[in-house]
Structures are given as structure tokens and as C-alpha cells.
Structure 1
């Protein structure tokens, strides 16, 4: 009898930059993650599978709700999802503030595939 296949951890990418939404899924799927992408925090909040998300890759600065505002809204709604922030603004004080607010990591764009995969492994406890 075959072993049941374990579900792949779901990683959601929320970024208004289409190049990020197009480039990250192939990398993440190649290493065994299931992936969903969203162009805005508002679009993400309409997703009915939020409870099943293993990790969020979240842009800091987006039109409408920002990444940090989305993180606070999810916490307010009782969703404790590990967050890896990504940002084009390489300001260390922003990074320190986000880490202090509970982010697993904050990567400055452009980041390497290795840096992202390392952050996701940390967020998922070594998955």
C-alpha cells in the first residue's frame, strides 16, 4: 500500500510588483511548496484559505494596506502566520522594527534565492 503523500506547505506571496509574483512561484514550487500569489493585501484578505497558510512572503510597501498593516490585521483576526517581509527600501531601521514586531525575516530586494529559502525554512521550523 503506498504511503499517503504529505501536503505541501502553502506559501502565499503578497506583492504589488508583478515581476515578484511571476518569479517566486516557480522557485518555491521547485523546492516543494504550494504557492498562491496576491497583488494586494486587500486581495489576500478575501482568500478563504488563510487558516491553511504555512508562511507569508509579504512586501512592506504596497498601495492600500501595507505589509505591516496586513500583519497587524491578521493578528487582530487571530491568524498567527509566520511572515517573511521583502522590501525595496534597504533601511536597517525598518528591518529592525519589523523583526521586533514578530517578522521571521526582512529581506532587501534584490535578494538571492538562497536567502529567501533560508528565511522560509526558518519560518517553517526547518520544513
Structure 2
């Protein structure tokens, strides 16, 4: 029986950025779904299958950090990669928890993002085998 490919969820209010990350993720053989807001992701049926979350920190409405905190509060700790065009040292320090695998400043290199995704998927599969 074929195993499902890991799903990478991309949450960013910047459509060209969402599309670029989605194309990169799919070119590496992963499934990808994009969302223009944290609320769209939270109400999607894909949340249960998400193995890695790539989210912008600065978005209208709920920020990427708030989205991550909401997921943790809901008991859905998803390995997360934060991306931002506005790096702030205090955000980076407060954001790095056990399931935050990276905090990337736009523009970032494809390999850097892919390394973070690989780390997230390793964390995700450890969580599944441990439960």
C-alpha cells in the first residue's frame, strides 16, 4: 500500500511567496497546500495531515507566531518554520521552541528552506512513531 507523501502547509499573505514555496516543495516530491491566512489554515481539513507548517510571522489578523501558539493550545504541535521579511531578535528568541525548526529571513535560499523542511519531517515522524 503506498504511503501518503508528507503534506507541507504554507501560510503567507504574500501570494507570490506562497506560490514560490509551493512550487519548490512540490518539486522535491512533497504535497503542498497554501493558505492566505492563519484562519484559513485553522479551518481547513488539511490540518490533521500537515507534517510541516511554513508560516509568515507578519500577517494581517493572526500572526504566524499566534498561529503556532494556537495549534499548540489545541494539542496539534506541528513542526513549524517561521519566515519573515522583518527579522527581530526578540521574535526569534521567543519563537524558538521544541517544534520551531527554523526562523528564516526573506529572501532565503531554497536549500536553507529544504533543510528546515527535512528537519521538520524528521521531528514529525518521531512524534508519530512515539505515540
TM-score, reference length from structure 2: 0.88
Pick the aligned partner of 2:69 from 58, 67, 72: 72
How many angstroms apart in 2 are the aligned matches of 1:13 and 1:94? 20
Deviation at 1:25, TM superposition (A): 1.1
CA distance, structure 2, for counterparts of residue 25 and residue 63 of structure 1: 21
Paired residues in the alignment total: 124
TM-score by length of 1: 0.91
In 2, the alpha carbon distance for the partners of 1:21 and 1:39 equals 8
- Structure with the bigger percentage of helix: 2
Match of 2:91, SS? helix
Note the aligned Cα RMSD (angstroms). Answer: 1.6
The structure that has the greater radius of gyration is 1
User: Superposed, which structure 2 residues align to 1:46-125 within 5 Å?
Assistant: 46-100=43-97, 102-125=99-122
The answer as to 2:35 corresponding to 1:38 is yes
